[in-house]
Amino acid sequence: MDVSRRILLSGGALAGAAAVVTRGSTAADASTPTGAGHGDAPAEHPDAFLQVPPGELPQETSTFFSTVFVEHAGTYAAPGSDGDLWPTCWADDDEVYTANGDGRGFSEEPFKDVVVSRISGRPETGLHGVKLAESEQVAKVWGDPAHYNRKPTGIVCVGGVLYLAVQDLRYGDSAFDDAPNASISRSTDHGRTWTTTDRPMFTDHRFTTIFFVDFGKDSSEATRALGAHDGSYVYAYGMDWNWRTSNTGTVPDPVDLYLGRVPASSVQERDRWEFFTGTGADGRPTWSIDIRDKTAVLHDPLRRYEDPQPTKAGSLTVVSQGACSTTPSSSVTCTRRGPIPASSSTSRRPPGGPGRDITITTRV
Protein backbone atom coordinates (compact mmCIF):
# COMPACT_ATOMS: atom_id res chain seq x y z
CA MET A 1 0.00 0.00 0.00
CA ASP A 2 2.77 2.48 -0.86
CA VAL A 3 0.22 4.78 -2.49
CA SER A 4 -1.57 5.18 0.83
CA ARG A 5 1.62 6.54 2.41
CA ARG A 6 2.44 8.96 -0.36
CA ILE A 7 -0.96 10.67 -0.66
CA LEU A 8 -2.80 12.28 2.25
CA LEU A 9 -6.23 10.69 2.40
CA SER A 10 -9.32 11.68 4.36
CA GLY A 11 -10.38 8.74 6.47
CA GLY A 12 -7.12 6.85 6.00
CA ALA A 13 -6.06 4.26 3.47
CA LEU A 14 -5.18 1.14 5.42
CA ALA A 15 -6.17 -2.19 3.99
CA GLY A 16 -9.64 -3.46 4.91
CA ALA A 17 -9.97 -5.60 7.99
CA ALA A 18 -12.42 -7.28 10.32
CA ALA A 19 -12.08 -5.93 13.84
CA VAL A 20 -12.63 -7.95 16.99
CA VAL A 21 -13.38 -5.84 20.08
CA THR A 22 -12.70 -7.06 23.59
CA ARG A 23 -12.88 -5.50 27.01
CA GLY A 24 -9.42 -4.42 28.13
CA SER A 25 -7.45 -4.28 31.34
CA THR A 26 -4.37 -2.39 32.40
CA ALA A 27 -1.30 -4.58 32.07
CA ALA A 28 1.56 -4.71 34.50
CA ASP A 29 4.56 -2.54 33.71
CA ALA A 30 6.59 -4.27 31.02
CA SER A 31 9.58 -1.98 30.86
CA THR A 32 12.85 -3.25 29.50
CA PRO A 33 15.54 -3.99 32.08
CA THR A 34 18.12 -1.24 32.50
CA GLY A 35 20.69 -1.25 29.74
CA ALA A 36 18.76 -3.39 27.25
CA GLY A 37 18.37 -2.00 23.79
CA HIS A 38 21.45 0.26 23.86
CA GLY A 39 23.68 -1.73 21.60
CA ASP A 40 22.94 -5.07 23.26
CA ALA A 41 22.45 -8.07 21.01
CA PRO A 42 18.76 -8.73 20.32
CA ALA A 43 17.17 -11.54 22.29
CA GLU A 44 16.15 -14.73 20.52
CA HIS A 45 12.58 -14.70 21.83
CA PRO A 46 10.56 -11.68 20.62
CA ASP A 47 9.25 -10.98 24.12
CA ALA A 48 12.48 -11.68 26.02
CA PHE A 49 12.73 -8.03 27.01
CA LEU A 50 9.47 -8.16 28.95
CA GLN A 51 9.64 -8.50 32.71
CA VAL A 52 6.25 -10.22 32.80
CA PRO A 53 5.62 -13.09 30.33
CA PRO A 54 2.48 -12.42 28.26
CA GLY A 55 0.83 -15.60 29.56
CA GLU A 56 1.08 -14.37 33.15
CA LEU A 57 -0.55 -11.00 32.51
CA PRO A 58 -4.10 -10.42 33.85
CA GLN A 59 -6.73 -11.66 31.41
CA GLU A 60 -10.42 -10.83 31.02
CA THR A 61 -13.16 -12.63 29.16
CA SER A 62 -13.55 -11.14 25.71
CA THR A 63 -16.87 -9.56 24.81
CA PHE A 64 -17.76 -9.08 21.15
CA PHE A 65 -18.72 -5.50 20.38
CA SER A 66 -18.73 -4.85 16.62
CA THR A 67 -16.92 -5.22 13.33
CA VAL A 68 -15.56 -2.49 11.09
CA PHE A 69 -14.36 -2.28 7.53
CA VAL A 70 -11.82 0.23 6.21
CA GLU A 71 -11.71 0.90 2.49
CA HIS A 72 -8.74 -0.46 0.56
CA ALA A 73 -8.14 3.05 -0.79
CA GLY A 74 -9.12 6.52 0.36
CA THR A 75 -12.53 7.93 -0.53
CA TYR A 76 -11.28 11.52 -0.48
CA ALA A 77 -7.81 12.80 -1.34
CA ALA A 78 -5.97 16.07 -0.87
CA PRO A 79 -4.42 16.60 -4.33
CA GLY A 80 -0.78 17.54 -4.58
CA SER A 81 0.33 16.04 -1.28
CA ASP A 82 3.58 14.13 -0.98
CA GLY A 83 4.92 12.41 2.12
CA ASP A 84 3.99 9.94 4.86
CA LEU A 85 2.73 9.85 8.46
CA TRP A 86 0.44 12.94 8.36
CA PRO A 87 -0.60 13.45 12.01
CA THR A 88 -3.39 16.05 11.96
CA CYS A 89 -5.36 18.35 14.26
CA TRP A 90 -8.40 20.64 14.00
CA ALA A 91 -7.43 24.14 15.12
CA ASP A 92 -9.30 27.12 16.51
CA ASP A 93 -9.41 28.80 13.09
CA ASP A 94 -11.43 25.86 11.72
CA GLU A 95 -8.49 24.67 9.60
CA VAL A 96 -6.72 21.33 9.75
CA TYR A 97 -2.97 21.33 10.41
CA THR A 98 -0.70 18.43 9.61
CA ALA A 99 2.93 17.39 9.26
CA ASN A 100 4.38 14.83 6.90
CA GLY A 101 7.64 12.96 6.94
CA ASP A 102 9.87 12.25 3.94
CA GLY A 103 8.27 14.33 1.20
CA ARG A 104 7.42 17.74 -0.18
CA GLY A 105 4.16 18.33 1.63
CA PHE A 106 1.86 20.44 -0.53
CA SER A 107 4.54 21.83 -2.80
CA GLU A 108 6.93 21.09 -5.63
CA GLU A 109 9.89 22.13 -3.49
CA PRO A 110 12.74 19.77 -2.57
CA PHE A 111 12.16 16.65 -0.48
CA LYS A 112 12.38 17.25 3.31
CA ASP A 113 12.32 15.06 6.42
CA VAL A 114 9.38 17.01 7.90
CA VAL A 115 6.96 19.55 6.38
CA VAL A 116 4.10 21.34 8.15
CA SER A 117 0.99 22.19 6.10
CA ARG A 118 -2.50 23.64 6.45
CA ILE A 119 -5.45 21.85 4.83
CA SER A 120 -8.61 23.75 3.92
CA GLY A 121 -11.95 22.84 2.35
CA ARG A 122 -14.34 19.96 2.79
CA PRO A 123 -14.40 16.49 1.24
CA GLU A 124 -17.66 17.31 -0.55
CA THR A 125 -16.25 20.42 -2.23
CA GLY A 126 -12.56 19.57 -2.39
CA LEU A 127 -9.51 19.71 -0.15
CA HIS A 128 -6.40 21.77 -0.75
CA GLY A 129 -3.21 22.23 1.21
CA VAL A 130 -0.53 24.89 1.70
CA LYS A 131 3.03 24.30 2.89
CA LEU A 132 3.94 26.39 5.94
CA ALA A 133 7.34 25.31 7.32
CA GLU A 134 9.96 22.61 6.99
CA SER A 135 12.84 20.74 8.68
CA GLU A 136 15.04 22.97 10.85
CA GLN A 137 12.33 25.65 10.87
CA VAL A 138 10.16 23.16 12.77
CA ALA A 139 12.37 20.95 14.95
CA LYS A 140 15.94 19.97 15.77
CA VAL A 141 17.81 16.72 15.26
CA TRP A 142 19.13 15.80 18.70
CA GLY A 143 21.23 12.79 17.76
CA ASP A 144 24.03 12.45 15.25
CA PRO A 145 22.66 13.96 11.99
CA ALA A 146 24.75 11.44 10.08
CA HIS A 147 22.44 8.71 11.42
CA TYR A 148 19.17 10.39 12.44
CA ASN A 149 16.65 12.78 10.95
CA ARG A 150 13.27 14.18 12.00
CA LYS A 151 9.91 12.43 11.91
CA PRO A 152 6.61 14.02 13.05
CA THR A 153 4.54 11.73 15.25
CA GLY A 154 1.72 13.83 16.72
CA ILE A 155 0.12 17.27 16.61
CA VAL A 156 -2.54 19.01 18.70
CA CYS A 157 -4.09 22.47 19.01
CA VAL A 158 -4.88 23.86 22.48
CA GLY A 159 -5.98 27.46 23.04
CA GLY A 160 -5.01 28.41 19.51
CA VAL A 161 -1.46 27.08 19.96
CA LEU A 162 -0.11 24.18 17.89
CA TYR A 163 2.15 21.56 19.46
CA LEU A 164 4.05 19.14 17.23
CA ALA A 165 5.89 16.07 18.52
CA VAL A 166 8.98 15.20 16.47
CA GLN A 167 11.34 12.28 17.03
CA ASP A 168 14.85 11.40 15.92
CA LEU A 169 14.50 8.39 13.63
CA ARG A 170 17.42 6.44 12.27
CA TYR A 171 18.23 6.41 8.57
CA GLY A 172 20.97 4.78 6.50
CA ASP A 173 22.10 1.54 8.13
CA SER A 174 19.26 0.05 10.22
CA ALA A 175 16.94 2.71 8.78
CA PHE A 176 13.68 3.31 10.66
CA ASP A 177 14.70 0.88 13.40
CA ASP A 178 15.20 3.06 16.49
CA ALA A 179 14.01 6.41 17.84
CA PRO A 180 16.25 7.55 20.73
CA ASN A 181 15.00 11.11 21.27
CA ALA A 182 11.89 13.26 20.92
CA SER A 183 10.71 16.75 21.73
CA ILE A 184 7.75 19.05 21.15
CA SER A 185 7.75 22.25 19.09
CA ARG A 186 5.28 25.11 19.60
CA SER A 187 3.63 27.52 17.14
CA THR A 188 1.53 30.54 18.10
CA ASP A 189 0.88 31.65 14.51
CA HIS A 190 -0.82 28.56 13.11
CA GLY A 191 2.26 26.75 11.87
CA ARG A 192 4.23 29.49 10.15
CA THR A 193 6.97 29.72 12.77
CA TRP A 194 7.99 27.31 15.53
CA THR A 195 9.73 27.48 18.91
CA THR A 196 11.79 24.44 19.84
CA THR A 197 13.09 23.28 23.21
CA ASP A 198 16.72 23.75 24.23
CA ARG A 199 17.23 20.01 24.72
CA PRO A 200 15.27 16.85 23.90
CA MET A 201 12.34 16.33 26.25
CA PHE A 202 12.47 12.54 26.01
CA THR A 203 15.65 10.47 25.66
CA ASP A 204 17.04 6.94 26.05
CA HIS A 205 14.35 5.54 23.70
CA ARG A 206 11.69 6.16 26.38
CA PHE A 207 8.36 7.72 25.33
CA THR A 208 9.93 8.88 22.07
CA THR A 209 7.02 8.09 19.74
CA ILE A 210 4.37 10.56 20.91
CA PHE A 211 0.84 11.05 19.59
CA PHE A 212 -1.57 13.40 21.30
CA VAL A 213 -5.11 12.66 22.40
CA ASP A 214 -7.26 14.93 20.20
CA PHE A 215 -10.36 16.39 21.89
CA GLY A 216 -11.90 18.00 18.83
CA LYS A 217 -11.60 21.53 17.52
CA ASP A 218 -8.94 23.34 19.56
CA SER A 219 -9.27 20.57 22.19
CA SER A 220 -12.61 22.11 23.12
CA GLU A 221 -14.17 18.78 24.21
CA ALA A 222 -11.55 18.03 26.87
CA THR A 223 -13.36 19.66 29.79
CA ARG A 224 -16.72 18.17 28.82
CA ALA A 225 -15.17 14.72 28.52
CA LEU A 226 -12.92 14.76 31.58
CA GLY A 227 -14.15 17.52 33.91
CA ALA A 228 -12.57 20.84 34.80
CA HIS A 229 -9.44 19.50 36.47
CA ASP A 230 -8.49 16.57 34.24
CA GLY A 231 -9.63 18.51 31.18
CA SER A 232 -7.01 21.19 31.84
CA TYR A 233 -4.26 18.78 30.77
CA VAL A 234 -2.91 17.81 27.37
CA TYR A 235 -2.73 14.02 27.02
CA ALA A 236 -0.43 11.98 24.82
CA TYR A 237 0.19 8.30 24.19
CA GLY A 238 3.80 7.26 23.86
CA MET A 239 5.91 4.25 22.97
CA ASP A 240 9.41 3.18 23.94
CA TRP A 241 12.21 2.06 21.63
CA ASN A 242 10.77 2.60 18.16
CA TRP A 243 7.68 3.55 16.18
CA ARG A 244 7.18 -0.06 15.05
CA THR A 245 9.07 -3.36 14.92
CA SER A 246 12.85 -2.90 14.84
CA ASN A 247 13.52 -5.17 11.89
CA THR A 248 17.27 -5.31 12.51
CA GLY A 249 16.92 -5.83 16.27
CA THR A 250 18.67 -2.56 17.06
CA VAL A 251 16.29 -2.06 19.99
CA PRO A 252 13.48 -4.16 21.47
CA ASP A 253 10.22 -4.17 19.54
CA PRO A 254 7.44 -2.02 21.07
CA VAL A 255 4.62 -4.04 22.63
CA ASP A 256 3.37 -1.42 25.12
CA LEU A 257 1.48 1.84 24.88
CA TYR A 258 1.89 4.41 27.66
CA LEU A 259 -0.03 7.55 28.62
CA GLY A 260 1.33 10.89 29.76
CA ARG A 261 -0.21 14.27 30.50
CA VAL A 262 0.91 17.83 31.15
CA PRO A 263 -0.86 21.09 32.06
CA ALA A 264 -1.97 22.81 28.85
CA SER A 265 0.13 25.87 29.72
CA SER A 266 3.33 23.83 30.15
CA VAL A 267 3.52 21.37 27.25
CA GLN A 268 7.20 22.08 26.52
CA GLU A 269 8.23 21.84 30.19
CA ARG A 270 9.47 18.31 30.67
CA ASP A 271 9.39 18.47 34.48
CA ARG A 272 5.63 19.18 34.39
CA TRP A 273 4.81 15.92 32.62
CA GLU A 274 3.39 13.01 34.57
CA PHE A 275 2.74 9.43 33.54
CA PHE A 276 -0.05 6.94 34.14
CA THR A 277 0.92 4.35 36.78
CA GLY A 278 -2.34 2.47 37.28
CA THR A 279 -5.56 3.03 39.21
CA GLY A 280 -6.13 3.57 42.91
CA ALA A 281 -8.63 1.93 45.25
CA ASP A 282 -11.22 4.48 44.13
CA GLY A 283 -10.77 3.48 40.50
CA ARG A 284 -9.17 6.80 39.61
CA PRO A 285 -5.95 6.88 37.59
CA THR A 286 -2.70 7.48 39.42
CA TRP A 287 0.20 9.49 38.01
CA SER A 288 3.91 9.97 38.62
CA ILE A 289 6.37 12.60 37.41
CA ASP A 290 9.03 9.87 37.26
CA ILE A 291 8.90 8.31 33.80
CA ARG A 292 10.39 5.12 35.23
CA ASP A 293 7.14 4.54 37.13
CA LYS A 294 4.94 4.49 34.03
CA THR A 295 2.65 1.51 33.42
CA ALA A 296 1.34 0.39 30.05
CA VAL A 297 -2.29 1.19 29.30
CA LEU A 298 -2.12 -1.36 26.48
CA HIS A 299 0.14 -4.39 26.26
CA ASP A 300 -0.09 -6.51 23.13
CA PRO A 301 2.69 -9.00 22.29
CA LEU A 302 0.74 -10.25 19.26
CA ARG A 303 2.85 -10.69 16.14
CA ARG A 304 1.96 -11.04 12.48
CA TYR A 305 3.69 -12.73 9.54
CA GLU A 306 5.65 -15.26 11.57
CA ASP A 307 6.63 -17.02 8.32
CA PRO A 308 7.20 -14.17 5.84
CA GLN A 309 8.04 -14.42 2.18
CA PRO A 310 11.74 -14.32 1.27
CA THR A 311 13.28 -10.82 1.68
CA LYS A 312 10.17 -9.63 3.58
CA ALA A 313 10.18 -8.55 7.22
CA GLY A 314 8.36 -10.89 9.58
CA SER A 315 7.34 -11.38 13.20
CA LEU A 316 5.85 -7.89 13.24
CA THR A 317 4.36 -6.42 16.41
CA VAL A 318 0.93 -4.83 16.04
CA VAL A 319 1.69 -1.95 18.41
CA SER A 320 3.00 0.97 16.36
CA GLN A 321 2.73 4.69 15.75
CA GLY A 322 -0.79 6.04 15.28
CA ALA A 323 -3.30 8.74 16.14
CA CYS A 324 -6.08 9.31 18.67
CA SER A 325 -9.53 10.83 18.13
CA THR A 326 -12.08 11.30 20.91
CA THR A 327 -15.71 11.84 21.83
CA PRO A 328 -16.99 13.11 25.20
CA SER A 329 -17.74 9.53 26.31
CA SER A 330 -14.76 7.61 24.94
CA SER A 331 -11.47 7.91 23.13
CA VAL A 332 -10.36 5.89 20.15
CA THR A 333 -6.70 5.24 19.44
CA CYS A 334 -5.64 3.77 16.12
CA THR A 335 -2.09 2.51 15.86
CA ARG A 336 -0.69 1.60 12.47
CA ARG A 337 2.47 0.35 10.83
CA GLY A 338 2.68 2.63 7.79
CA PRO A 339 3.16 0.62 4.58
CA ILE A 340 3.24 -2.76 6.30
CA PRO A 341 -0.24 -4.29 6.47
CA ALA A 342 -0.62 -4.88 10.19
CA SER A 343 -2.50 -2.63 12.56
CA SER A 344 -4.08 -2.49 16.00
CA SER A 345 -6.60 -0.13 17.56
CA THR A 346 -7.92 0.49 21.02
CA SER A 347 -10.76 2.43 22.54
CA ARG A 348 -10.38 3.32 26.19
CA ARG A 349 -12.14 5.51 28.72
CA PRO A 350 -10.36 8.88 28.99
CA PRO A 351 -8.51 9.31 32.30
CA GLY A 352 -11.11 10.26 34.90
CA GLY A 353 -13.91 10.37 32.34
CA PRO A 354 -16.98 8.27 31.55
CA GLY A 355 -17.24 5.49 29.00
CA ARG A 356 -16.24 1.85 28.55
CA ASP A 357 -12.86 0.18 28.31
CA ILE A 358 -12.64 -1.80 25.08
CA THR A 359 -9.82 -2.99 22.92
CA ILE A 360 -9.98 -3.42 19.15
CA THR A 361 -7.54 -5.61 17.28
CA THR A 362 -7.63 -5.57 13.49
CA ARG A 363 -6.36 -8.23 11.14
CA VAL A 364 -5.25 -7.66 7.58
| pLDDT tens sequence across 300-330 | 888 887 776 676 667 888 888 887 766 555 4
- For residue 224, what is the domain's CATH number? 2.120.10
The pLDDT value recorded for residue 68 is 62
pLDDT digits (tens, 9 = 90+) for 157-175: 999 999 999 999 999 999 9
Mapped to the 3 state alphabet, what secondary structure does 297-332 carry? Answer: CEECCCEECCCCCCCCCCCEECCCCEEEEECCCCEE
The pLDDT value recorded for residue 328 is 53
The pLDDT value recorded for residue 232 is 97
> At residue 222, what are phi and psi to the nearest 5 degrees?
-60, -45
Mean local confidence (pLDDT), 233-254: 94
Residue 331 near residue 348 (C-beta atoms within 8 A): yes
- What is this structure's pTM? 0.77
The domain tally of the chain equals 1
End-to-end C-alpha distance for the chain, whole angstroms: 12
pLDDT digits (tens, 9 = 90+) for 68-107: 666 777 677 778 889 999 999 999 999 999 999 999 999 9
Expressed as residue numbers, the domain containing 334 is 2-363
What are 321-324's contacts with CB under 8 Å, separation 24+?
321/85, 321/153, 321/209, 321/211, 321/239, 321/243, 321/244, 322/211, 322/237, 323/87, 323/88, 323/154, 323/211, 323/214, 324/211, 324/212, 324/213, 324/214, 324/237
